[in-house]
Structure 1
């Protein structure tokens, strides 16, 4: 089948993968994300490069989507979910890292969205966006999310004996330009 030269090319619907320590890893599109309850937030980001920006975002809570994928929390360990990290990657290579506590309503009182729309514009082709309304500058705002990895491999660790008994010391001074060795 050929496409008319006067019609814009049809881009495929963006897809994101949910991977990691999940009972039900998944591939989701923006239309899939519309099946979850939608939340709306107004956000003002104070960007160093482009000043203050105001937007309206709509989409499901990241917590709801990841909870449905079945994070493999250990029911025998109290607060096991607090050791889980969430890595979000955008199609442009930007990354953000969150903790489970940041998205869990039992711990945080701020919504973290997988936005499927911005300012009444659907994001079907561009892909969902990570929106943290509580972030002042929007540095963790990720556009065109293509992967989210949930990682719970951070178990307890202890410092070795030297770390536990020796206080921190400043490192050696680095000679400046023109100083003698």
Structure 2
């Protein structure tokens, strides 16, 4: 499930996400283009804490090294999104992005974990049935 420039690639079930990390709660409202405003309560670990267990290959003491990393999150329906490490890093954005293990009090064991970005007004970065997370650097383009 977690791969890329990490020292310890991880494959985790929803049950393992629930058991290994503290569960945070986020009551969210996001606008869905098809169904209008959606109100949900999610529970799950912070994405940053789960990724820390995979041991990202950057030098954690160097802020500029950490700020070069991006991650992609893929869902079971083919939907995916991109985040920067700086969004979730405590020294930068410190966004409380979750890998949800429950939605509205119901476990997501059968459906799969869900990426939850509580600060987003739009639901496009909410990824259902997370199938994989890739973490690594993005090579900048050469001179024009």
Class of the TM-score when normalised by the shorter of the 2 chains: over 0.9
1:123 alignment partner in structure 2: 108
Displacement after TM superposition at 1:109 (Å): 3.7
2:11 alignment partner in structure 1: 27
1:43-72 residue CA offsets vs partner (Å, 9 max, x unmatched) = 001122101110000000000000111000
1:118-148 residue CA offsets vs partner (Å, 9 max, x unmatched) = 0000001111000001110111100000100
1:139-164 residue CA offsets vs partner (Å, 9 max, x unmatched) = 11000001001012x356652xxx4x
Q: Is the 8 A contact 2:60 2:66 kept in 1?
A: no
2:50 maps to which of 60, 65, 71: 65
Larger RCO: 1 or 2 (CA < 8 Å, sep 6+): 2
In structure 2, runs of 5+ residues without a counterpart are: none
Q: Equivalents in 2 of 1:68, 1:42: separation in Å?
A: 26
Q: Equivalents in 2 of 1:141, 1:32: separation in Å?
A: 20
Q: Please give the secondary structure, in 2, of the residue aligned with 1:52.
A: strand
Q: CA RMSD in A?
A: 1.6
Structure with higher helix content: 2
Distance 1:139 1:77, change over 3 A: same
Distance 1:101 1:124, change over 3 A: same
Larger Rg: 1
1:79 alignment partner in structure 2: 64
Q: Equivalents in 2 of 1:50, 1:19: separation in Å?
A: 33
Q: Equivalents in 2 of 1:41, 1:123: separation in Å?
A: 15
Structure with higher strand content: 2
1:36 maps to which of 21, 36, 58: 21
1:49 maps to which of 20, 34, 52: 34
Q: TM-score, normalised by structure 1?
A: 0.74
